[in-house]
Structure 1
Amino acid sequence: MFAAIASGNPLQLSTEVPNSNGLQHTIVLSSTKPKSYSHITLFILPNVTFPDNFIATVYFKLTPTEDFQLFGYLGNEKPSAIFKVKLPTSGISQPWGSSYGDGLGEIDMDDSVADTNIPGTHNISELIIGISIEPRDQGMLKIQEWKVQQQSAKTNNSSLVLSRPGMAGTIGTVGQLASAYPKLTQELAAKIVQHAYNYLSGFLDNAGNVSIKRFDTWWDKFKARLANDGSFLDEVTSN
């Protein structure tokens, strides 16, 4: 009924969970290359007729012993979704956070949540996708509650509080940040301007002008991407 593709790896089909009457499915990414993929695409198979009054909630976990974490859903109006994977850098991967955005879940497998003395690392090729088919009202209620939790977590982590050796107090405003790190702030501003230029230059009219609506679209997309992962700015270059 479902299938998943980890980037650079073959398609893998779902299997029904025994005694679930076809309502629960799993996909174990056991044959993938653990260090080679950054995105997973999950979709309903083309020949499957999915009832309008049901959705398939999507969950992930790293090993059979862990608890599933909710990351989105599939349905007739959204037969596929893409999930971004962040591989761990060292140590045991802790329960990951996620960010919501138009069907894009994020499996954040960083190991910075808590220190641990347990040796070894997770094999990311053991990533398990759990899929539960449930009534739409019941499933969408879970999704809405999940979105509220994610937004709350994002809001709680959005305040900027930095300290710099040799400086008293903390950095809590843009002006203080620019004063403390003028060169880095200048580089950041240049990256943002270049990112806007790269995007807007594709919409120039014959007079060399761009509609303000194009700028608004760029700004909305930029803010959303910055909230998900600001490291993309490191890759911004001039055309």
Structure 2
Amino acid sequence: MSSPLFGIVPAGQPLITEPASTPSPTSLLYSLPTTKPFSHIVVFMLPGVALPPGTAAAIYLATAADVAASGSAPNFKFLGAIGPGKESAMFKVTAGESGLMIGVSVEAEDAIAGQLQTLAANKASNPGAASSSQPSTTVLAQHIIQNAFNFLSSFSGAAGPGGVEVVPLKAFEDWWRKFESRVRSDPSFLEKQSD
């Protein structure tokens, strides 16, 4: 595995193709940046990459502190897999102060299929675990509307025809540009916004 095989993109961060280390011929370890917060990562096979027949790439997660504390055998959590027919996947992660490490291991498809079944069963038996920390779509929509209203209300005051307050379209365009910029710099800011 001398040339890059996989790409990793933490939301709002640059593409990572070079592993921090290669613990074995079939395993790669990537260190994710801690410069800006992110809540999702995308892992994908680079164009032209073909895995050996009967294999797929298992994706694992560990904190940098776990890796340092346990030396050569950190406690990695299985996130999912990519391979032929599913060349990319997105995962929700929680970036800690110590940073995150992503492990990519080329393994037999059968072994990965078993891990995927276990992962699906765990999610099915504990459906509230993943969603309890995430606000609902309704709450996120309310936060977006509240953000827009707060910004646009600063332009109100001039009554138009019929006594209705009018906000210039340029004000909405300005809000949208600022909103998109903020989402790019911190994709989870709406989740943190208080009700």
**Structure 2 residue aligned with 1:71:** 79
Does the alignment pair 1:229 with 2:134? yes
**Structure 2 residue aligned with 1:115:** none
Counterpart secondary structure, 1:12: coil
Higher relative contact order (CA 8 A, sep 6+): 2
**Structure 2 residue aligned with 1:26:** 29
Specify whether residues 152 and 14 from structure 1 end up closer, same or farther in structure 2 by C-alpha distance, changes over 3 A only: farther
**Aligned 8 A contact 1:3 1:27 in 2:** no
**Structure 2 residue aligned with 1:51:** 52
Counterpart secondary structure, 2:42: strand
Which residue identity lines up with residue 27 of structure 2 in the other structure?
Answer: Q
Percent identity between matched residues is: 27
- CA distance in structure 2 between the aligned counterparts of 1:57 and 1:235, rounded to whole angstroms: 32
**Structure 2 residue aligned with 1:60:** 61
1:132 to 101, 105, 121: 105
**Aligned 8 A contact 1:25 1:130 in 2:** yes
**Structure 2 residue aligned with 1:10:** 14
In the alignment of these two chains, the number of paired residues is 131
What is the correspondence of 1:81-120 to structure 2 with a 5 Å cutoff?
A: 81-86=89-94
Which residue identity lines up with residue 126 of structure 2 in the other structure?
Answer: A
- CA distance in structure 2 between the aligned counterparts of 1:10 and 1:27, rounded to whole angstroms: 13
Which residue identity lines up with residue 35 of structure 2 in the other structure?
Answer: K
1:27 Cα deviation from its structure 2 partner: 1.0
TM-score, normalisation: structure 2: 0.58
Which runs of 5 or more residues in structure 2 are unaligned?
A: 146-195
Counterpart secondary structure, 1:236: helix
1:231 Cα deviation from its structure 2 partner: 3.0
Q: CA RMSD in A?
A: 2.6
Which runs of 5 or more residues in structure 1 are unaligned?
A: 88-121, 159-224
**Structure 1 residue aligned with 2:186:** none
1:50 Cα deviation from its structure 2 partner: 2.0
**Structure 2 residue aligned with 1:123:** 97
Which residue identity lines up with residue 62 of structure 1 in the other structure?
Answer: T
1:11 Cα deviation from its structure 2 partner: 0.8
Specify whether residues 131 and 84 from structure 1 end up closer, same or farther in structure 2 by C-alpha distance, changes over 3 A only: same
Counterpart secondary structure, 1:71: strand
Which residue identity lines up with residue 84 of structure 1 in the other structure?
Answer: K
**Structure 2 residue aligned with 1:190:** none
**Aligned 8 A contact 1:14 1:26 in 2:** no
1:230 Cα deviation from its structure 2 partner: 4.0
Query: What are the superposed Cα offsets for residues 174-211 of structure 1, whole Å, 9 maximum, x if unpaired?
Result: xxxxxxxxxxxxxxxxxxxxxxxxxxxxxxxxxxxxxx
1:226 Cα deviation from its structure 2 partner: 6.7
- CA distance in structure 1 between the aligned counterparts of 2:52 and 2:138, rounded to whole angstroms: 42
**Aligned 8 A contact 1:52 1:76 in 2:** no
**Aligned 8 A contact 1:54 1:135 in 2:** yes
